[in-house]
Amino acid sequence: MRTALILTFALWSAGIELQAGQTQPKQATTVLKLQGAGQPSTIEIPVTIDGQPFDVYWSGTFDAIFDFADSNQDGVLTENEIKLVPSARAVRLSLGNAFTPPVAAITSLSEIVNDSSQKCTKTQLRNYYLRHGAGQLQIGTGTLPHTSALTRALVQALDTDQDHQISEVELQRAETVLRRLDTNDDELIGVGELIPNATYPGSWAAHTLKAEQEVSLTPTGKSDLTLSRQNSQAEVKPENHSAWQLSVTDHISDQPLNFTTPKIRFESWSIPGPLNELFSQLREEIANADPDPPQAEPEQRSRNRRPSRAWLTPLGDRNGNGVLSQDEIDQWLQLQQRLIHGQLLISIYSGGGLFELLDKNHDAGLSIRELRNIWQNLKAAGCTTGSHVNLQQVPHVVLFVVSQGYPDQVGKTTTSDVEWFNLMDRNRDGDISRREFTGPQPPSTVSIRIMTA
145-172: per-residue pLDDT in tens? 899 999 999 999 999 999 988 999 999 9
Q: Are 266 and 357 in contact (CB under 8 A)?
A: no
Residues 87, 222 within the same domain: no
Which helix (H) or strand (E) segment holds residue 341: the answer is helix 326-341
Output the pLDDT for position 400. 94
Q: 396-403 and 226-230 as β-strands: parallel, antiparallel, unpaired?
A: unpaired
Output the pLDDT for position 416. 53
Output the pLDDT for position 24. 43
Higher-scoring residue by pLDDT: 77, 295: 77
Residues 85, 212 within the same domain: no
Q: What is the mean pLDDT of residues 272-279?
A: 92
The DSSP-derived string for 92-157 is: HHHHHHSS--S-S----GGGT-SSTTS-B-HHHHHHHHHHTTTT--EEEEEE-TTHHHHHHHHHHH
Q: What range does the domain containing 395 cover?
A: 140-271+344-419
Output the pLDDT for position 20. 38
Is 377 among the domain residues? yes
What is the pLDDT confidence band of residue 203, given thresholds at 50, 70 and 90? confident
Residues 64, 152 within the same domain: no
Residues 263, 150 within the same domain: yes
Is 453 among the domain residues? yes
Residues 92, 14 within the same domain: yes
pLDDT tens sequence across 339-387: 999 999 999 999 899 999 999 889 888 888 888 889 999 999 899 999 9
What is the pLDDT confidence band of residue 425, given thresholds at 50, 70 and 90? low
Is 302 among the domain residues? no
Residues 112, 130 within the same domain: yes
Sign of the dihedral defined by the CA atoms of residues 423, 403, 405, 106, in that order: negative
Q: What is the mean pLDDT of the chain?
A: 81
Residue 226 has pLDDT above 50, yes or no: yes
Counting the structural domains of the chain, the total is: 3
Residues 112, 245 within the same domain: no
Output the pLDDT for position 332. 95
Residues 145, 264 within the same domain: yes
Is 34 among the domain residues? no
Q: Is the overall model pTM greater than 0.85, yes or no? A: no
Residues 401, 424 within the same domain: no
Residues 217, 288 within the same domain: no
Q: DSSP 3-state helix, strand, coil percentages of the chain (rounded to 5)? A: 35, 20, 50
Q: What is the mean pLDDT of residues 223-247?
A: 76
Higher-scoring residue by pLDDT: 19, 304: 304
Short-list 320, 296, 81, 318, CA closest to 308: 296
Output the pLDDT for position 289. 84
For 357, other C-beta atoms within 10 Å of its C-beta total 20
Residue 92 has pLDDT above 90, yes or no: yes
Is 441 among the domain residues? yes
For 276, other C-beta atoms within 10 Å of its C-beta total 17
Is 408 among the domain residues? yes
Residues 404, 444 within the same domain: no
Residues 217, 258 within the same domain: yes
Is 45 among the domain residues? no
For 55, other C-beta atoms within 10 Å of its C-beta total 19
Is 42 among the domain residues? no
Query: Any idea which of 86-90, 313-317, 449-453 has the lowest mean pLDDT?
Result: 449-453
